[in-house]
Each structure stands twice: as C-alpha cells, then as structure tokens.
Chain A
Amino acid sequence: MILINKDSKIVVQGITGSEGSFHTEQMIAYGTQVVAGVTPGKGGQTAVGDLPIYDTVKEAKDLAGANTSVIFVPPPFAADAIMEAVDAGLDLVICITEGIPTADMVKVNAFMKGKATRLVGPNCPGVISPGTGKVGIMPGFIHQPGKVGVISRSGTLTYEAVHQLSSRGIGQSTCIGIGGDPIIGSNFIDLLKLFNEDEGTDAVVMIGEIGGTAEEEAAEWAKANFTKPIVSFIAGTTAPPGRRMGHAGAIISGGKGTAADKIAALKAAGIAVTESPAGIGELMEAELKKL
C-alpha cells in the first residue's frame, strides 16, 4: 500500500462543518486513526465524540501527532488551508473540497515547490488503503484488501471500477482519487512511481478523462519506467469539445485533451485500454492471469 498505512494519523481540517463531521465519523467507523480536528476559533473544544479541536494545523501536529490532513474547508478558504497544512510540515495533505478558484491553486502549486509535503486533490474522493485506513469520502465497504492499485480523476467512476474488481475477488492495495481540477497536487506519474516501488502492488488501474495531457504524459513515463501491468479507461469519448463536463478540468480546449488522443497514447505505450467502463474488472482479471 502507499500513502495511507497503519502509521497514518489524521487531522480533519474543517471538522465542525456538516461534511467534515459526517465523514470523520465514517472514517473512524472504518478504523482510521483520526487524532484531531482543526477549526479556527474553536480550539479547545471537541468534535465527533472526544476528538480535540485545535485552531491551527501546527498544534494538531505538535500536540496530537497528526502526520496527514484531510480538508473539508469551503472553497474560498481551502487554498489557505492547504498551505497551512504544508507549512506545518505534514507528510500528506488530501483536499476533498470542490470549487477552489484556479488562481488560488496556481498560488498553492508555487507554494508547494521544494516542500516535502505531498498533496492529493483538490476536488477528489480521497485515499483508501482497504482494511487499513480510509481518508476521504468513498464508501469503505466496496473495497477489499489486495494487490491492485487504483488511480483516478473521478469519484463515482472509481467506485464503479473498485466494485468491478471486488466482485471478481480482486482486492486493492491503495485507491487514490487525484481530483477533477485543472491543477492538482499529485498526478498519475507521481503515484505510478510509488506503486512501482510498492511490493504490495502487482498491477494498477488508471482511470482518466478528457482535458489536459496528464494521461499522455503518464503513458510516456510508464512505457519507459513502469514495471507492472496497467489497465486503463478514459471517460469522455462522447463529450463535445469546449464544454466543461462537470469537473473543472474535464474540457477539450483548443483541440487538446480528447479521449481519442489519450487512448492512442496509452495503447502506444503498451497499456491495456478498455473502451467500456463496464470492462475494467474483466480486463484486470485477464492482465493478472498473465503474471
């Protein structure tokens, strides 16, 4: 597994909001070690049972031992929340918030340069290492522990893929939603690198969608460097150009970012691509049999 393991200690930024408190309960019920919450101005109080609330992420790290943050802060304040968690020196920051202005993420992106903290998201379902810890909003029960990694720009489409894997008895090492925005912290390549090194991962499902060129770059990198099988699906073959398909990053613009280009690049890199979103589990089963 990668990113989330038994040593992950979680602080929830925005724990007193309705989303934050609800999903904190769900994460704890899954067995995740949530150690603290942060809501500026509510330091000293408790939330979701007896979790301590701090005013700052630094206190959550120093006093409660948090090393990983999950962010449910509303969009106008979310970029600042990410920077605070990075400044506090956490290992991993997972931002769930959807709707952060692009210009704010341009700043965050510059701020992250040279820092050791890894960012996942924003606009993502989070990260789960099945059986060990769930940091995000995904339904835990559809997952089962195993040796297939999942990386995806989508939320429910990832659940669909995981469901197909689990129903075939194929468990997952870690599933990561990297987010549907144009600027995100961790991209396919960053996570493929980790899966490449991870002994607990035998193969990876990579789910992309229209917009940008992250899939093309990942295909090129994987061809030269990745040693395990990849199964891929790209959503949006039928999406019209110039329209934002739900996710801020899912848009074909200036002729760039079409599903056809991405599928061609993946295939050229020797990656197994399914044209049907219903065929992900089946294709992975076939790939695993070859090992």
Chain B
Amino acid sequence: MNIHEYQAKEIFRKYEVPVPRGKEAFSVDEALDVAKSLDSNIYVVKAQIHAGGRGKAGGVKIAKNMDEVKSYATEILGKTLVTHQTGPSGKKVGRLLIEEGINIARELYMGIVLDRQTGKFVFMVSTEGGMEIEKVASETPEKIVKEWIDPGLGLQAYQTRKLSRALELTGSQTRSAVKFMFALWEAFKASDASLVEINPLVVTAEDQVMALDAKMNFDDNALYRHPDILAYRDLSEEEPSEVEASKYNLNYIKLDGNVGCMVNGAGLAMGTMDIIKLYGGEPANFLDVGGVANPDTVANGFRIIMSDPNVKAVLINIFGGIVRCDRVAQGIIQALREVKVNVPVVVRLAGTNAEEAAVILDESEMDFIVAHSLAEAAEKVTAAIKE
C-alpha cells in the first residue's frame, strides 16, 4: 500500500525523524491557515499524489508570502499532474502539503528496502540527492552505499557511522545523521514498511539532517496488524474498478488493452495476458479469481471486467484442479445469467472433468466460444476482436 508524503511525515514525527514543520490542506483556505500557523518567511506548497516527479510537473512551488501561498494553492489544487510515474493521463491533485522553507546546504538520498537476494532489509544512501535514484543505480552504482541489517541484531551504531561517512558528513552533522537513521529504522520496522525513500534528504545550513521528502510503502500482508496505517489508504488515488474488485477479494489490475481476461492463479493470469499479446491482442486487465472459481466469483469477475468500456472480448482461462471444471462451467453459465455480457466470450477449461465441462458449455443456450487449449483460446479471442 502507498501513502501520501504528508502521511509518511506524520509517521516520521511519531518516531522523531526530523521533518520540516507543516500540515496537509484540502482547500485554499486551509492552505492559508496552515501557512499562517507556521509563521515562516518562506513556504513550500506541495501537491500530494501517489507518484514521484511532482516538482518537474509543476506540483511543488516556493511561496514568499501569503499571496503567493494563495495563488500557488489555487493553481495546484485540482490540477492534473503528469509525471514519469503517473502515466499519460496523470493524477488530479486533491490534497496539498504546506511546509516551512528550509535553508538547504546539501541534498542527499536515503532509503530502506528489502534485498530479496539476502533476505535482509538494506539501508541505502547516496550523495546524489534530488536525482532519480534508478538512474544513479544504473549509471553510477558505486555512488549508492549499502548496509545490510542483521534481522537478529538490528541496525548497529557503526553502520550508521559508515553510512554518514559515505554521505561525507562531518562533526555535528554525523551526530544528527546517526540519530536520524536509528529513528528512521524504528519507523520502518514498527510500521512493517516495505520501502522508505527520502529524496532529498537534506543537511540544513544549521548542520541538521532532515527529511525534505518522504515516501513510504507498506507490506500488504502485514496491514492486518496496523489498522492505523490502513486508515491512511486514499481510495481516490486508486483505480475505481480495482477498489471495487478488492471488495470481492478479487485481484484485479486494469490495463489499457481490449481483451478482458479471467483466470485462476496469478502466474497463469500473467501467462494468459502474455499469450493474448503474443497472438496480436492487448490484455485489458490482470484478474486472478483465486483457487475457487465459483458462480459468485465468476459473476463478480464479469462485472469488473465489463465495467471497462474498452473490453471487446473476454477470455476465461481456468485450470481446474481440486475445483472440477464441470462445476466451473455451471458457474460461468449461472454468472452470465446474472451479468449482461455483450461481447464474445471465449472459455477454456482444463484439468479435472474438462470434457464434461465442454459439453455443458456447448449445450447451454449461451453463446460461448469454446477452446480446448491455451493456444486455441488465445487465437479465438484475438480473432473475435478483429471481427
């Protein structure tokens, strides 16, 4: 799960990770109230969307007085920002973060992620703050310095000193950085984060280390033990059909193509998308209906798929293992009585009782296109699109 910058900074404050003073605002009036309460001579008006690259897209502005706060807040609120992470349609700004301005001496980078190779969390720092870290990683990987955290021992003081040196910090800056890193690790660990990224991390003119930006992602599997973090979920940042699908416990991701697909199992669902593409079609979605493809899940799957107006044909690919295919076939027929589907539907069922299932589908009054293999299904569904 993703959260907004201002929410991540709330978590930071809770664990005493230094951040600029500031608060979220949902309207221009609120933005002015926040700015007044900050009593600063310089303010930052920041668009809050779940995507990076906001500055370049005009979503971050420095204001020198209340008039400028007002004009920037008016300009950014409601604006659609297109960044390298939003996709071409962009994201509409519904929230702002108003902060005090900071005297920046240096811009750095700091992050914590899971290193899948070692199975440990890894602390990463770089002197190349403010840049796209993916670019730094691919072009100058030696500029990213890492320390792996022992799961039993946790972060050690010597590691924070090594990282501080790698950031070329000295004297009181080092003391500030060491404290900062322990606080950040605590915030990360205590909230079951899957990623924290601070870009830029700044050294102020007063030699303090501070998080100017804050990005946090969380492990969905651990959210059951963090109701406070779950409360940060902003549904307006998510695709409405995906939100709807999650209510039915369906794993749905909307894509840009026109062939809808409904599959059991994540790997097979990805494989089905791939084969649609291979046969000249474009998948409209990823949809894993899970191990049990019963009439309800199939009907809900159809509702979600058909809510996308781009869908011109649907491919159902179910590998019946423990679930028998004849049951799945009956489920599909029942679902199609409940949900109106006015595009061609290609059904491919394999596994237990697949032949009985094909007979049930053939003999039903419904207008299915039955396929017996995965390749045949892909061929038929892409042909149906072209007609």
A180 touching B319 in the complex, CB below 8 Å, given contacts A109-B151, A245-B253? no
Complex interface: chain B residues within 8 A of A235 (CB): 267-268, 270-271, 274
CB < 8 Å: which of A104, A210, A213 contacts B116?
Answer: A213
Decide: A160 and B374 in contact? CB cutoff 8 A.
Answer: yes
Which single residue of chain B is at the shortest CB-CB distance from A236? B270
CB distance from A207 to the nearest CB of B (A): 7
A249 within 8 A of B: yes
Complex interface: chain B residues within 8 A of A180 (CB): 266-267
A106 touching B151 in the complex, CB below 8 Å, given contacts A246-B269, A276-B278? yes
Binary contact track B312-353/A, C-beta < 8 Å → 1, others 0: 000000011110000000000000000000000000001110
CB < 8 Å: which of A139, A159, A239, A278 contacts B378?
Answer: A278
Decide: B151 and A110 in contact? CB cutoff 8 A.
Answer: yes
Decide: B221 and A75 in contact? CB cutoff 8 A.
Answer: yes
B37 within 8 A of A: no
Most A CB contacts (10 A, CB to CB) among B119, B134, B264, B378 go to B119
Interchain CA distance A75-B255 in the complex, whole Å: 30
CB < 8 Å: which of A153, A242, A245 contacts B85?
Answer: A242
Binary contact track A257-287/B, C-beta < 8 Å → 1, others 0: 0010000000000000001111100000000
Complex interface: chain B residues within 8 A of A207 (CB): 267
CB distance from B370 to the nearest CB of A (A): 16
Decide: A106 and B278 in contact? CB cutoff 8 A.
Answer: no
B150 within 8 A of A: yes
Complex interface: chain A residues within 8 A of B320 (CB): 139
B158 within 8 A of A: no
A141 touching B352 in the complex, CB below 8 Å, given contacts A246-B251, A277-B275, A278-B375? yes
Complex interface: chain A residues within 8 A of B121 (CB): 106
CB < 8 Å: which of B114, B268, B270, B291 contacts A250?
Answer: B270
A6 within 8 A of B: no
Decide: B374 and A277 in contact? CB cutoff 8 A.
Answer: yes
Interchain CA distance A276-B291 in the complex, whole Å: 23
Decide: B266 and A138 in contact? CB cutoff 8 A.
Answer: no
Decide: B267 and A157 in contact? CB cutoff 8 A.
Answer: yes
Complex interface: chain B residues within 8 A of A102 (CB): 114, 192, 194, 219, 221-222
A157 touching B220 in the complex, CB below 8 Å, given contacts A103-B189, A183-B116? no
Complex interface: chain A residues within 8 A of B194 (CB): 102
Decide: A238 and B221 in contact? CB cutoff 8 A.
Answer: no
A237 within 8 A of B: yes
Decide: B319 and A163 in contact? CB cutoff 8 A.
Answer: yes
Could you say which interface size class chain B belongs to? 35 or more
Decide: B114 and A182 in contact? CB cutoff 8 A.
Answer: yes
Which single residue of chain B is at the shortest CB-CB distance from A210? B270
Binary contact track B249-268/A, C-beta < 8 Å → 1, others 0: 00101010000000111111
Interchain CA distance A39-B120 in the complex, whole Å: 30
B133 within 8 A of A: yes
Complex interface: chain B residues within 8 A of A243 (CB): 253, 286
Interchain CA distance A226-B129 in the complex, whole Å: 43
Complex interface: chain B residues within 8 A of A137 (CB): 291, 321-322
Binary contact track A9-25/B, C-beta < 8 Å → 1, others 0: 00000000000001000
A255 touching B221 in the complex, CB below 8 Å, given contacts A157-B267, A157-B271? no
Complex interface: chain A residues within 8 A of B322 (CB): 22, 26, 137, 139
Which single residue of chain B is at the shortest CB-CB distance from A23? B322
Decide: B319 and A160 in contact? CB cutoff 8 A.
Answer: yes
Decide: B275 and A159 in contact? CB cutoff 8 A.
Answer: no
Complex interface: chain A residues within 8 A of B220 (CB): 244, 248
A139 touching B352 in the complex, CB below 8 Å, given contacts A106-B120, A276-B275? yes
Complex interface: chain B residues within 8 A of A247 (CB): 266-267
A227 within 8 A of B: no
Complex interface: chain B residues within 8 A of A138 (CB): 321
Complex interface: chain B residues within 8 A of A109 (CB): 119-120, 151
Decide: A254 and B133 in contact? CB cutoff 8 A.
Answer: yes
B288 within 8 A of A: yes
CB distance from B66 to the nearest CB of A (A): 38
B89 within 8 A of A: no
CB distance from A79 to the nearest CB of B (A): 11
CB distance from A261 to the nearest CB of B (A): 12
List 12 A-B pairs, Cβ < 8 Å.
Answer: A100-B221, A109-B151, A137-B291, A182-B116, A214-B116, A235-B271, A238-B270, A249-B116, A259-B274, A275-B278, A277-B271, A278-B378
Please give the residue numbers on chain A whose beta carbons come within 8 Å of chain B beta carbons, in ascending order: 22, 26, 75-76, 99-107, 109-110, 137-139, 141-142, 152-160, 163, 180, 182-183, 207, 209-210, 212-214, 217, 233, 235-240, 242-250, 254-255, 259, 275-279
